[in-house]
Structure 1
Amino acid sequence: MKLVDEAEITVTAGNGGNGCIGFRREKFIPLGGPDGGDGGAGGDVWLQADENLNTLVDFRHQTKFKAQRGENGMGRQMYGKAGEDTVITVPVGTVVHNVDTDEIIGDLTTHGQRLLVAKGGQGGLGNMHFKSSVNRSPRKATPGGEGETRTLRLELKLLADVGLLGFPNAGKSTFIRAVSAATPKVADYPFTTLYPNLGVVSVEPGRSFVIADIPGLIEGAADGAGLGSLFLRHVQRTRLLLHLVDIAPMDYEGSAVSPVEQVRAIERELRKYDPDMLEKPRWLVLNKADLMFEDEAREAAEKIVNELGWTQPWYLVSALGREGTWPIMLAVQAFFDRLRADELEARAEADAGG
């Protein structure tokens, strides 16, 4: 299941520099004639695909981009310097729409691919171009052309990097609200979440990942019960799973289900649907620590971890109070940073071997 991340930006190319009106004035050349140079071209605005980016979250903070203006022409037939281009990096897979015309300008599908989205203005002509047999001293030059301005809608169809697993009412929607700008509906009844909620977690500019709140799974999900296999397919594509569990026994269909039973039930559904999913990195997040005293919550968490024989990372948090949630996000970002470094190293070794 693909989710959509969108952003709207305004790009403005640089204006061209003005042409110069100038005349040669040298001691022994009294009739030197016109020598005004041309203005430099304005800088262009480009989009460039970068495989190291996976969200458009940075464009929430910066939405306007402008290329440099070309310099004006000068005397002695000196041309103005062209303005520098502005290159905006976006994730691979970004589709670019012109908001005004509602047309698709381009689709950036490969790393390093570039797309020109705003053309800089041409430099104006200096008066040296207007000399003629009937006008030997033209006092005419042209101004630089205006750079293009466009409003663009960037659309990225992406798969979530992190999937949140857990029973209904385990606190997944509250958790995603705590760590991202997503605002899923939160209520005290099963299946509050009917569709995956996408959240973009930005650790710092250029370092972010996508997290999806998967609707609560129940026993029988692999066979289509509840919201079923539709969302198991979505979880299957994520690279890391966060398994949220209520630290206290929760009521489910009139019965108290212990935290350990909650974990085992979800594991059975994952194994039934696709055994390989249990090999995927899965971190345990014991939620609702705020309902107990600190020492009591820590003791209960350690007991759950020991009963499960859990060997992967685990965390104790209060999603409602946003306590302990951000350290998990930093650890997740470090996890993806390591994955990316390993992939780059493997690619470099493959290139060297080939």
Structure 2
Amino acid sequence: MKRLTTTFMIAAFSLLCATVLLSNKSQAAELPYLMIMGEDNDQDAIPRDSRVFRRVLNELAEAMNADGFDVYDETAVSLDDYAQGRSRRSDAELIDVARSITRPPIDIVVLFEIYASAERLDYTTKVRTRLSGRLLDVHSGRRMGNFEVSSPRNFRAPVNCNRECILETVGDNARLLARDVADVLVQKLGDEVDYGYDDRDDYDDRDGYGNGSTKDMARRRGNDGCRGRVQDVFLNFQNFTEQEMLDIEDVILAKFSCYVDHRPAGSHGRTHEYVYKTRLHTAKLKRNLVRALEYLGMSGRVRYQGKEFNISKVNKRRSRYYNDGSKW
């Protein structure tokens, strides 16, 4: 009986270890943090303090939240540092606000505008509504897609419809249009996030830097085993020589998983800047950079904010004294 119990415990422990290792090898997509912001700088657009604006915003947020995306309220995350209740804001102000928020760091903003008009006729009131906007990566500035939906011609209101009636009719129409827009947004974001394959055997994180074999670079560039949207990450290396940067690039190409592309953005003395495209989680990218310095025998620090990494090498003082043997 005792031997049977011991055998069962060993089998259970082995199953647990296998489950943990399998979950570590499967890389889920890193979901972006979203924020919905209204563009109302155009005097013809409906301002953000309107009830119509709030109904559209709530409909967009609800649709994306129901589909599994993390949507954050602009007022809640910017309450401490920014003036609230401002209308007719420029694009520069919206992007600056979204880019400066770090708790949580906003990755993508949904910028939308609402246009509405009413034409009064003797027998009815024609109501026209149009909803347009775009998806924007706030850190890289990459436009991820545009959208525009207009109301059909059969949107009508009573012939004696007053201002209150017009607002409610426009709000109902805009809310219906927001549902169509939300479906388009969810599809575009889903295509970005869910891209890639789930080949669990392609990359084994247990290899490490010193003990494992280098994976085939062609397969690595195919992003097998990596899922999620391509992110533009900015790498700033400080106090590195040209030869040291060649060594670092070799490590990135041979060891970093989910690699897509990289290109130099600038080089000034011992300061080197790169634009790095990857599908890797930003947290693991930070760990990889720390491990790369350790693997190359370099002392340094890795700092991170937003989508920008600052890697600073700690240089040691070079000794120019020499021992020439037994000469006096």
Q: Settle same-fold status: TM greater than 0.5.
A: no
TM-score by length of 1: 0.29
Give the number of the structure whose residues are more often helix, by fraction: 2
Whichever of the two has the greater Rg, that structure is 1
TM-score by length of 2: 0.31
